[in-house]
Amino acid sequence: MDLSVRIGSGTLPNPVGVASGTFGYGSEYEKLIDLSIIGALYTKAVTPEPRPGNATPRIIETAAGMLNSIGLANNGLAGFKTAKIPYLRTLPCPAVVNVAGSKGDDYAKVIEELAGEDCIWGWEVNLSCPNVKTGGLALGTDPTEVEQLTSRLRKLSSKPLIIKLTPNVTDITAIARAAESGGADAVSCINTLVGMVIDTKALRPVLPGKTGGLSGPAILPVGLAAVYRVARAVTIPVVGLGGITEADHAIQYLLAGAHAIQIGTANFIDPTVHQKVLDGIQAFAVLHNLQSIPDFHQFIE
Amino acid sequence: MDLSVRIGSGTLPNPVGVASGTFGYGSEYEKLIDLSIIGALYTKAVTPEPRPGNATPRIIETAAGMLNSIGLANNGLAGFKTAKIPYLRTLPCPAVVNVAGSKGDDYAKVIEELAGEDCIWGWEVNLSCPNVKTGGLALGTDPTEVEQLTSRLRKLSSKPLIIKLTPNVTDITAIARAAESGGADAVSCINTLVGMVIDTKALRPVLPGKTGGLSGPAILPVGLAAVYRVARAVTIPVVGLGGITEADHAIQYLLAGAHAIQIGTANFIDPTVHQKVLDGIQAFAVLHNLQSIPDFHQFIE
Amino acid sequence: MAHIVTSVLENRPVAQDYYELRMAWPSWAPAPQPGQFLTLRTVDGPVPLLRRPFAFSGFDRADSAASIIYQRRGHATTLMTAKRPFDPFDILAPLGNGFPDPKSGRRPILIAGGIGMGPMLFLAERLAQTPYPGILIIGARSAQYLPRVVLSRSVQTILCTDDGSAGRKGTAVDIAREEIRQEGCAPELYLCGPHGMLAAGHALAEELDAPSWVAMEQTMGCAVGACMGCVVRVHGGEEYARVCMEGPVFDSRTIIWT
Amino acid sequence: MAHIVTSVLENRPVAQDYYELRMAWPSWAPAPQPGQFLTLRTVDGPVPLLRRPFAFSGFDRADSAASIIYQRRGHATTLMTAKRPFDPFDILAPLGNGFPDPKSGRRPILIAGGIGMGPMLFLAERLAQTPYPGILIIGARSAQYLPRVVLSRSVQTILCTDDGSAGRKGTAVDIAREEIRQEGCAPELYLCGPHGMLAAGHALAEELDAPSWVAMEQTMGCAVGACMGCVVRVHGGEEYARVCMEGPVFDSRTIIWT
Ligand SMILES: Cc1cc2nc3c(=O)[nH]c(=O)nc-3n(C[C@H](O)[C@H](O)[C@H](O)COP(=O)(O)OP(=O)(O)OC[C@H]3O[C@@H](n4cnc5c(N)ncnc54)[C@H](O)[C@@H]3O)c2cc1C
Ligand SMILES: Cc1cc2nc3c(=O)[nH]c(=O)nc-3n(C[C@H](O)[C@H](O)[C@H](O)COP(=O)(O)OP(=O)(O)OC[C@H]3O[C@@H](n4cnc5c(N)ncnc54)[C@H](O)[C@@H]3O)c2cc1C
Ligand SMILES: Cc1cc2nc3c(=O)[nH]c(=O)nc-3n(C[C@H](O)[C@H](O)[C@H](O)COP(=O)(O)O)c2cc1C
Ligand SMILES: Cc1cc2nc3c(=O)[nH]c(=O)nc-3n(C[C@H](O)[C@H](O)[C@H](O)COP(=O)(O)O)c2cc1C
Ligand code: FES
Ligand code: FES
């Protein structure tokens, strides 16, 4: 079976990636697993300036999920270049740089400055981080803005450009279509859901920033519904994520119309999850005699 | 402590209600629990015409949650009048009729025809049911439509009018403000999240309607974030729900700014949950010397 | 219907993947009837979330005990296999309508398949104490799925397997057809098991112009009639009927078999 | 750091709400050092979801065994109390940096409170085998929280309680101050316990101009440095340091105590 996934000008060796913010830049996990089997490593978000991130605690468990409020903590562009690029050059799997910011210029700056780096396979544009105050709603909630930003970024690099969608919108298909019109090579969804937990003993929200992003098994059905709808609204590939902890979940995403998937929170729980998911996808393909990833899309209308 | 909750022209004896669609019309549970301790019983949705509901299965469990696709199954207005009104007259707690439909006229019709019934305490207008195809998005996703419909319904009855908000929107506070401007006495949130589960053995979505509504513990953080934000956007009372299975969760909602709460899915799991939640709220009030429900709102900014 | 927190008395394997769980039955609680079911909670936490429904497989007022027979399938039933005597057991019961008595002059033919064996054993034992005892036909895929240890000597029982590895070879409905022909009786059918078996039983009943009763299954939410989750399609005015309220036992002619 | 699926050897109560869990240690796995920790998974399912971190309280290469001491608090730790010998035990370990050796001529003063007792017992045993043994001071609210059964005869140990119900009356940091004054030594402080205790220990170190090491706690996601979840505020270029990577042991002067 051909496991490869074509996205724009690039090809991923297999459909199972690891999600931004849950896998660092790879080095953190290299002692635990073989990075060469990873289909795509989506880095922690990179912003133009360094960001210390939010106050603590930054993580709290919820029923079958977790809330995080990391706040795009990263070393900034300069730090990324000196501290991370040399490592990415040695990485045995494709590296997708997750790009973030509070305004369009931020995104443009990151891609412009990194566009020449051969060790970067492509971009994932995080328009949806609910942790950073961009004056209210996330950038990725308005189709017009998304289309404009996408076409601006499109001109800066010929590497695969993936727009990451937030589920916290009325109509995620409208945002996906805007990304497609703007020239995106793919969309990935979903980012975290806005959530909150209150400590009734301390009488305050657990997260100092009050709300955070909900991820993990709890959101699997939400991610699946989003991918199902988005895959029917655009013709570019869809990268599905949200709540995947086992092969069956990843297969659900592929059946729903995804061309690739990402594993996020589950990396924290089982470092071998990636291998298990990849094996499970292959076994499913053999069982149903599927030759390539698009063959997964034939079953569900 | 004064447990009562004032909403518009009415007063509820206590803040702990049972959510629409999870408690029928009350009779189903009367053998199991004392209905007189219920703060408000929100009925299953009533539509002008009878609806058989969706194909089966209608329910599937997810991680710490469940998806449902009941499809507003109900006897319609005429059936409601003959089969349910006589029972509601005997109900020892306030009955709030959950009103649904596929267009504005449907809602108006239900309220108009039932406005004279003394046994009805008030209305909860379900603008958010994701199960019914209203030509794409739910009615309650557009602020202008919500304001217009609310003011139309406002004129039909002086009973408390509660607009129930869907979480499947970009900015739930905009919808809440629209309901307030339209003359709503309160808003309730949240309804279910859109979700999907695929059966990888049968190679099809488990629910024949493909997507369904996600409820239960998994969505608690999403409901809390919504209530927290809505309570800061409007001056009318907010009724909080989503994922409450124990007193601590209900207290989180009250601390977040809710004046009352509803228990949904948890009724299926523990018929005594209502009593436990009410007891827990009272114990918390005693511990912190709170005199009335608004006193819960002093702790969190 | 009551919310009962009782305790496990015994939880033992009775066939491959099948277990019988006996629980103490408080004297104040209504007595379960054959065809009725309970819903139980396996854990206090949110996973598994929903109560799970199981039909009663026996009830003994003298012993103050009721029982179910369950198959290990997914998360909840796997957790159930770990229940030990004196573990608390949180149930809603008895739920649903139960099987009606046979019409006068009719010979009750009880047909059980897979997880449908519980209610059929219960009904068979009941009928054995009446002037109109039935024949119990239990079908399974093969020998190891037959619950030999729970069979009652006072019930006329026929075992059959799809692969012929024990009892007679054939489906329970086929064997029923043979028995009825041989006895030359006017039968009344009672069925519980997989959907296909119920449909075949209904077809047999039509063929013989006999009354027949089927215990239906559907994923449940509330199990008390409130959520409209557990419906099956039926003929007549209402398009759907609730398995937990109008059922689980239905006249097979009211069901829309598709 | 390795992903190890080992087995439980023993799981016994050692004080009220405190348990010691010993696990088999595979010979290929790196040896844990005092101050290092593991993260463990309590169930296969989604609740509790995240791995939980616990410091090593001992390691014995000869016995091929490592141990932790944990307090029953919430869901995961309650599930842990049910672990039995030979149950599988899924851990990531050893994680974090561990305590440094004392500077030459310094007297190690080990101060433990509550769930901080594990790593201090481990460190104390290690130092007892060196030319610079330490004094171990264990503080608890009252007598029943003192883990008497795990104390080692080869370690000079002082017990104290807030209410004076056992050992000396006072906080562990107060008792440390007294001991140091009495001995007239140049101390090096090692602390693990509640945040307030660590801050008080740091203040004492400043007072005495002594080096001091604190093992910090923070809610964790990955525990391998990838998620930036477990940070504490530190002085210097970077505003935050990760407890799981730069820690859990920090020079107390690098921490911003608020
Ligand atoms: C009225 C009724 C009587 C039943 N009687 C018996 C019995 O006597 N013995 C027996 O072994 N089984 C019986 N069942 C089936 C039993 O309820 C399921 O096998 C059990 O719920 C599976 O739970 P699980 O977590 O182990 O498996 P899961 O992995 O959750 O599911 C396995 C299968 O059970 C079904 N199921 C899951 N949740 C529910 C639910 N809440 N309601 C109904 N079905 C569900 C699923 O659709 C799936 O097909 C009965 C079901 C009904 C509706
Ligand atoms: C580096 C480190 C070493 C630790 N060593 C020990 C030890 O040796 N002995 C001991 O008893 N405890 C230790 N703890 C604390 C222990 O991890 C928590 O008590 C445990 O996670 C509680 O889990 P629970 O589900 O029982 O409780 P919960 O109800 O989940 O939480 C109870 C408390 O534990 C905290 N907690 C929950 N999840 C995590 C997490 N993933 N990471 C960190 N804290 C969490 C919560 O913030 C809360 O304050 C250590 C923590 C850290 C960070
Ligand atoms: C701790 C943490 C940090 C995250 N940081 C980022 C980030 O920097 N950029 C981004 O696009 N998404 C980030 N995410 C979102 C994940 O990439 C993913 O979209 C989300 O967690 C849903 O997938 P999951 O349920 O598999 O975790 C983060 C998620 C977590 C849990
Ligand atoms: C089976 C089921 C049926 C429902 N039917 C309705 C309905 O008819 N009208 C409505 O406004 N909400 C309906 N809801 C949504 C609930 O009232 C509630 O908003 C939602 O379930 C979240 O609360 P919970 O997590 O406590 O269940 C239904 C929910 C469930 C689970
Ligand atoms: S399960 Fe709710 S109506 Fe039957
Ligand atoms: S827990 Fe993820 S960086 Fe420390």
Top pLDDT among D97 and B72 is at D97
Query: Can you give the pLDDT at residue C236?
Result: 85
Test site for ligand 2: of D20, D42, D73, D95, most ligand atoms within 8 A of the Cβ: D73
Q: Look at residues D136, D130, D194, D129 and name the one whose alpha carbon lies nearest to residue D160.
A: D136
Whether A56 and D50 lie within 8 Å, measured CB to CB: no
Output phi, psi for C222, to 5 deg: -85, -35
* Residue range D158-182, pLDDT digits in tens: 999 999 999 999 999 999 999 999 9
Q: How far is B32 from chain A (nearest CA, A)?
A: 27
Same domain for C206 and C123: yes
Chain D partners (3+ C-beta pairs within 8 A): A, B, C
Taking CA atoms only, the protein residue closest to ligand 3 atom 12 is: A20
The whole-number pLDDT of residue B103 equals 86
Chain A hits for D227, Cβ within 8 Å: 21-22, 24, 59, 68, 70, 268
ipTM: 0.96
From chain D, the residues in CB contact with A24 under 8 A are 222, 224-227
Rounded to whole angstroms, how far apart are CA atoms B249 and B261?
Answer: 10
Q: Tell me the catalytic residues of A.
A: 129
Q: Tell me which chain B residue has its CA closest to the CA of residue C47.
A: B64
| Rounded Cα–Cα distance for residues C195 and D87 (Å) | 40
Residue D239 confidence (pLDDT): 87
Domain boundary among D67, D95, D123: D95
- C5 CB under 6 A from ligand 5? no
For residues A221 and A213, give the distance between their C-alpha atoms in angstroms, rounded to a whole number. Answer: 16
Question: B300 contacts in A (CB within 8 Å)?
Answer: 198, 203-205
Q: Closest ligand to C49 CA?
A: 1
Residue C202 and residue C162 in one domain = yes
Domain containing C58: what range? 2-95
Percent of chain B residues past pLDDT 90, beyond the cut: 91
Question: What's the confidence (pLDDT) of residue B136?
Answer: 57
Whether C74 has its CB under 8 Å from any CB of chain A: the answer is no
The pLDDT score that the predictor gives to residue D104 is 87
Ligand 6 center–CA C202 separation, angstroms: 61
Nearest bound ligand to CA C242?
A: 5
Residue A82 in contact with partner chain D when CB distance is under 8 A: no
Beta strands in chain A (DSSP E): 5-7, 10-12, 16-18, 40-42, 59-62, 65-68, 95-99, 122-126, 161-164, 186-189, 193-196, 198-199, 204-205, 211-215, 238-241, 260-263
Which two tokens mark B181? 């401007």
Name the neighbours of A, counting chains with at least 3 Cβ pairs within 8 A: B, C, D
Render B125-170 in DSSP notation, one character per residue. EE---TTS-SSSS-GGG-HHHHHHHHHHHHTT--S-EEEEPPS-SS
Does the CB of D2 have a partner CB in chain A at under 8 Å? yes
Cα torsion angle, B50, B54, B55, B61, sign: negative
Q: What is the pLDDT of residues D232-254, one digit of tens each?
A: 999 987 789 999 999 999 999 99
What is the pLDDT, as a whole number, of residue A129? 60
Instruction: Look over chain D and give the mean of its residue pLDDT values, rounded to a whole number.
Output: 95
CA-CA distance, A291 to A120, in Å (whole number)? 28
How far is residue D163's CA from residue D148's CA, in Å, rounded to a whole number? 17
In this model, does residue B129 exceed pLDDT 70? no
- Confidence band of D258 (pLDDT split at 50, 70, 90): confident
Q: Residues near B194 by Cβ (< 8 Å), separated by ≥ 6? A: A222, A225, B130, B168, B211, B212, B213, B214
Closest CA to B159 of B110, B96, B88: B96
**For residue C110, what are its two tokens?**
């009880």
Residues C135 and C181 in one domain: yes
Interface of D with A in 51-70 (CB under 8 A): 51
Instruction: Show the tokens assigned to A2.
Output: 């051909």
Which residues are C192's β-sheet partners? C112, C215
Say whether both D114 and D155 belong to one domain.
yes
Confirm if A24 and D245 have CB atoms less than 8 A apart. no
Number of CB pairs, chain C paired with chain D, less than 8 A apart? 7
Number of domains in chain C: 3
A 43-72 near D (Cβ less than 8 A): 44, 52-53, 56-61, 63-66, 68, 70
Which residues of C fall within a CB distance of 8 Å from A64? 46-47
Q: What is the overall mean pLDDT for chain B?
A: 94
> How many A from CA of D225 to the centre of ligand 6?
4
CB atoms within 10 A of CB B163: 30
- Position D100 in a domain: no
What is the pLDDT, as a whole number, of residue A132?
46
Phi, psi values for residue A174, rounded to 5°: -65, -40
CA B190 to chain centre: 7
Spatial separation of the C-alpha atoms in residues A16 and D68, rounded to whole Å: 35
pLDDT tens digits for range D10-29 = 999 999 999 999 999 999 99
CATH code for the domain of D233: 2.10.240
DSSP 3-state of D61: coil
Question: How far away, in angstroms, is B119 Cα from ligand 4 center?
Answer: 22
Ligand sitting nearest the alpha carbon of A69: 3
Nearest CA-CA distance, residue C48 and chain A, Å: 11
Q: How far is the CA of B61 from the centre of ligand 1 (A)?
A: 11
Chain D residues near residue A66 by CB distance under 8 angstroms: 49-50, 221
Nearest to B149 by CA among B178, B189, B188, B112: B178
Q: Are A283 and A250 in contact (CB under 8 A)?
A: no
Taking the C-alpha atoms of residue A213 and residue A217, their distance in angstroms, rounded to an integer, is 13
- Read out DSSP for A12-76? ESSSEEE-TTSSTTSGGGTTTS-GGG-SEEEPSPB-SS-B----S--EEEETTEEEE-----B-H
Q: Residue B137: is its pLDDT beyond 80?
A: no
Q: How far is the CA of B69 from the centre of ligand 4 (A)?
A: 10
Verify that C114 and C205 share a domain, yes or no. yes
Last residue of a domain, one of C35, C64, C95: C95
The CATH homologous superfamily of the domain defined by A5-298: Aldolase class I (3.20.20.70)
The span from the CA of B47 to the CA of D250, in Å, is 64
Give yes or no for a contact between C135 and C73, defined as CB atoms under 8 angstroms apart.
no
One domain, residues D167 and D232: no
Q: Which 3-state string (H, E, C) describes B218-236?
A: HHHHHHHHHHHHHHCCCCC
Give the whole-number percent of chain D exceeding pLDDT 70: 100
In a domain, D196, yes or no: yes
Residue D151 lies in a domain: yes
pLDDT at B134 over 60: no
Same domain, C21 and C87: yes
Report the chain B residue with the minimal C-alpha distance to residue A242.
B195
Q: Which of B225, B242, B124 is nearest to B173 (CA)?
A: B225
What is the best residue among C222, C234, C238 to mutate for testing ligand 5's pocket, by most ligand atoms within 8 Å of CB? Answer: C222
Residue type, C32: P
Calculate the CA B178 to chain-centre distance.
Answer: 18
Q: Which of C63, C95, C127 is the last residue of a domain?
A: C95
Which pLDDT value is given to residue A134?
A: 42
Contact state of A221 with B62 under an 8 Å Cβ cutoff = yes
CA–CA dist D197, B150 (Å, integer): 57
Q: How far is C218 from chain A (nearest CA, A)?
A: 21
Minimal C-alpha gap between D45 and chain A (Å) = 9
B25 alpha carbon to ligand 5 midpoint, in Å?
A: 13
> Which chain B residue shows the shortest CA-CA distance from C238?
B52
Q: Please tell me if residue C87 touches chain B, with a CB cutoff of 8 Å.
A: no
Ligand (nearest to CA of B68): 4
> Which pLDDT score, from 0 to 100, does residue C237 have?
77
Checking if the pLDDT of B135 tops 80, the result is no
Do C195 and C253 sit in the same domain of this protein? Answer: no
Reply yes or no on whether the pLDDT at B139 is more than 90.
Answer: no
Q: What does the alpha-carbon distance between residue D218 and residue D241 come to, in Å, rounded to a whole number?
A: 11
Reported as a pLDDT band with limits 50, 70 and 90, residue A102 is: confident
Q: Rounded CA gap, A7 and B242, in Å?
A: 38
Q: State which ligand 3 atom lies nearest to the alpha carbon of A42.
A: 17
Together in a domain, D144 and D171? yes
A191 C-beta closer than 6 A to ligand 3: yes
What does the pLDDT read at residue A195? 97
Distance (Å) from the alpha carbon of A64 to chain C's nearest alpha carbon: 8
Q: How far apart are CA A103 and CA A28, in angstroms?
A: 30
The domains of chain A are located at 5-298
Is there a domain that residue C57 lies in?
yes
- The residues near B169 (Cβ < 8 Å, ≥ 6 apart) are A169, A170, B140, B141, B175
Among candidate residues B93, B119, B129, B189, the one labeled active-site is B129
Q: Which residue of D has its CA nearest to B63?
A: D46
With an 8 Å Cβ cutoff, is C46 touching chain A? yes
Token pair belonging to D242: 């990760």
Look at residue C100 and tell me if it is in a domain.
no
d(CA B137, CA B117): 32
Instruction: Spell out the per-residue pLDDT of chain C, length 258, in tens.
Output: 999 999 999 999 999 999 999 999 999 999 999 999 999 999 989 999 999 999 999 999 999 999 999 999 999 999 999 999 999 999 999 999 999 999 989 999 999 999 999 999 999 999 999 999 999 999 999 999 999 999 998 999 999 999 999 999 999 999 999 999 999 999 999 999 999 999 999 999 999 999 999 999 999 999 999 999 999 999 987 789 999 999 999 999 999 998
Nearest to A171, CA basis, from A245, A242, A233, A89: A233
Nearest CA in chain B to D48: B64
Q: How far is B21 from chain C (nearest CA, A)?
A: 6
Reported as a single tens digit per residue, the pLDDT across A66-101 is 999 998 899 999 999 999 999 999 999 999 999 999
CA of A27 to the centre of ligand 2 (A): 26
| D23: nearest Cα among D11, D35, D41 | D11
Average the pLDDT over D46-74 and give the result: 96
Task: Give yes or no for residue B131 CB within 6 A of ligand 4.
Answer: no
**Strand-strand pairing, B16-18 and B40-42:** parallel
Cβ neighbours of residue A184 closer than 8 Å, sequence gap 6 or more:
A150, A154, A161, A162, A163, A236
User: Are residues C170 and C220 part of one domain?
Assistant: no
Average pLDDT score over residue span A161-172: 95
pLDDT surpasses 50 at A133? no
Is B130 touching ligand 4 by the criterion CB < 6 Å?
A: no
Q: Output the residue whose Cα is nearest ligand 2's atom 49.
A: D219
How far apart are the two ends of chain B, measured CA to CA in Å? 23
In this predicted structure, the answer to whether residue B131 has a pLDDT above a threshold of 70 is no
Q: Average pLDDT, stretch D79-100?
A: 96
**Contact call for C75 and D47, based on CB within 8 A:** no
- Inform me whether the pLDDT recorded for D2 exceeds 90: yes
For a ligand 4 pocket test, name from B191, B214, B222 the mutation site with the most ligand atoms within 8 angstroms of its C-beta.
B191
Run of H or E including C174: helix C172-183
Q: What is the pTM of this model?
A: 0.96
Q: Is C229 in the pocket of ligand 4 (CB under 6 A)?
A: yes
In a domain, C101, yes or no: no
CB atoms within 10 A of CB B228: 24
Q: Which chains touch B (3 or more CB pairs under 8 A)?
A: A, C, D
Distance CA B12, CA B21 (A): 20
CB pair distance less than 8 Å for A28 and D238: no
